[in-house]
Structure 1
Amino acid sequence: MICFSSEAFSGGSDMAEAPANEPQRPRGERGQRRHRPLAAARGCGVRAPLPSFPPSFLPFFTACFPSPFTAGMFIPCDRGGGSAAPDFKGFTLLMPAVSVGNVGQLAIDLVISTLGMTKVGYFYTDCLVPMVGNNPYATAEENSVELSINAEVYSLPSKKLVVLQIRSPFIKNKYRPFCETLLSWVKSSKCARVVLLSSSHAYQRDDEQLLGTPLRYLLTPDLEKAVGGRVKELNWKEMEKVAAYPGINDTDKVLHIPGGGITKLLFTESCSEGIQMAVLLKFCSEGDNIPDAFVLVNYLNEWLQLIKSESNNSTDPSSQWKIPSSWRLLFGSGLPPALF
């Protein structure tokens, strides 16, 4: 194990000290102790200089190397006025499932970009693949250099809305720890309800699911009591349960969401924990899923009314939602004119 010396932080000695029980090594011509290679120092308790990084890199390193004592916790952003945790009591938590076509994540991008939501923190977890990138919602050169990581939290107090955006896939066998930690945070932050945007494989629908709209919803019993009447007014279609053993026993029905990632687990855990949760999903296939994202976010808007629908009943979804700047190169750059 390498122990980093305090001198490295203050710009002091840049030399690696030998352990106390190690004989003194010969000195160089100027009387300085020779450098000890960092690789050779591994496991010897040698103190080595720690490289310095700007403070903006902190979220990236904490996301890549989470502590077992704080993994999965919400960490508020330090905006210069301290880092006190924001109050989410009574807020609606909107989040995506990492599912087929990344439809939920794309829909969340549209919500954050259109509403101009402010980043208030990030999720400190070892359940997601670490990643770092530029600000996906940059509007000018000044904010384009801001870093973004795998799980960030945005807020809009005027609408009592908080959004958790997930930008990387889950690590194997980490679904359940993430769901448990997330629901624990939902309880501690006293969010009123959770809305999960998801998707499912279109090719794995049964005969009943092939009929009508490709959009479906699920409500936990606690949320059903609160908004069940409103959902019926919208004429939404609930996600059907399918036979557990098709062709053998069609009476036993189970909830099946192929390609839905954590959707089923998070929904069933919310039911058992008494948390109000709604799942909005769309059947789709992999490919260009931007149209699916517009359909799903419009489906969400029918219920939550995040933005006002245009009076001219335009069928163009892009006329209502602001496409984030990061989508410009979603499929790479355009074809070079020299080809034609």
Structure 2
Amino acid sequence: MLFLKDKRSTLDVAEHTVIIPSICVGNAAQLACDLLIASKELRRIGSITHPALIPVYGPSAYQHEPKEKVSSCELYEGVEDKLLVVQFRAPWVARHTGHFQKELVEILKGSRRVVILSGSFGFEKRVIEESPWAYRASDNFKEAHAAQLGNEELIKWKEHKGDAIYGGGNALQLFKAFDEQKVPVMLLFRYLLEGDNSTDASLIVRELNELCEDFLQLRNGGDGSFKLTVPKSWNLLFGNDVTELLF
């Protein structure tokens, strides 16, 4: 299931923060991980295969690694920041999802913390005036981030306590799988709509940066702003241009 580069036999995730996108509405979480990988220039260290993953193979998605290839599930690491990003390029096969989640948790359960990114249909937001953000955090994650999540004046996200996230893919099931193994885990999602969700992706990274600035370290200005690198794969985010031969 796990294939690592450089002849590595095991994946050491101790003290690592793991970011996992859920295949959600608008692919916003995957786009957010694209921005993280490109902006931090994370290095591809391996891939994961499983019957739950539809096979995908193609050219590099990032300009900082032009010779790499992409597959259904890739692992990208930032050694200095102890950051590991899991990126999916294909939807999951429903009947194999449970087993895949169990195997994924087994690989990553030794990490310091796990953050799952996702999205939900905008029309599921019942109160318009409320924040477009919601989260779910395990008890041990809340203890580790009490300063951020425990301060009602600073936290602008609404805690999600429901049994479903409509449009969120397998985010909630994956969250519960990590929580059962006592891994500090948080699920962060945004209410959004289908379409061009590149802006939503940058907003997700911005919110994540506010929570985890100590390892993302994206800030580069005195006003708190930061610069994101758009990956070259976004040049054809909606496919090729319409050929003039049609007209």
Structure 1 length normalisation: TM-score? Answer: 0.66
Distance 1:86 1:222 in 2: 23
User: Aligned-pair distance for 1:154?
Assistant: 0.8
CA contact under 8 A between 2:13 and 2:108: conserved in structure 1?
Answer: no
Distance 2:11 2:163 in 1: 36
Find out whether 1:169 has 2:88 as its counterpart: no
User: Aligned-pair distance for 1:96?
Assistant: 0.3
Q: 1:186 to 1:145 in 2, by over 3 A?
A: closer
Alignment of 1:7-156 (within 5 A): 73-78=1-6, 82-139=7-64, 144-156=66-78
Distance 2:160 2:185 in 1: 17
Distance 1:121 1:297 in 2: 23
Q: 1:168 to 1:218 in 2, by over 3 A?
A: same
User: Aligned-pair distance for 1:125?
Assistant: 1.4
Question: 2:212 matched to which residue of 1?
Answer: 304
User: Aligned-pair distance for 1:161?
Assistant: 0.5
Question: 1:8 matched to which residue of 2?
Answer: none
* Residue type of the alignment partner of 1:198: S
Find out whether 1:160 has 2:82 as its counterpart: yes
CA contact under 8 A between 2:111 and 2:183: conserved in structure 1?
Answer: no
Q: 1:135 to 1:313 in 2, by over 3 A?
A: same
Q: 1:86 to 1:178 in 2, by over 3 A?
A: closer
Question: 1:273 matched to which residue of 2?
Answer: 181
Q: 1:313 to 1:148 in 2, by over 3 A?
A: same
User: Aligned-pair distance for 1:309?
Assistant: 4.7
* Residue type of the alignment partner of 2:5: C
SS of the equivalent of 1:135 reads: coil
Number of equivalenced pairs: 241
User: Aligned-pair distance for 1:333?
Assistant: 4.2
SS of the equivalent of 1:114 reads: helix
Sequence identity (%):
29
CA contact under 8 A between 1:193 and 1:275: conserved in structure 2?
Answer: yes
Distance 1:181 1:325 in 2: 31
Q: 1:129 to 1:172 in 2, by over 3 A?
A: same
Unaligned runs of 5+ in 2: none
CA contact under 8 A between 1:127 and 1:175: conserved in structure 2?
Answer: yes
Distance 1:224 1:158 in 2: 25
Distance 2:140 2:150 in 1: 16
SS of the equivalent of 1:111 reads: helix
CA contact under 8 A between 1:127 and 1:170: conserved in structure 2?
Answer: yes
Distance 1:232 1:299 in 2: 16
Deviates more, 1:107-116 or 1:213-222: 213-222
Structure 2 length normalisation: TM-score? Answer: 0.89
SS of the equivalent of 2:90 reads: coil
Distance 2:202 2:120 in 1: 16
Alignment of 1:140-219 (within 5 A): 144-187=66-109, 190-207=110-127, 210-219=128-137
* Residue type of the alignment partner of 1:300: L
Distance 2:33 2:48 in 1: 16
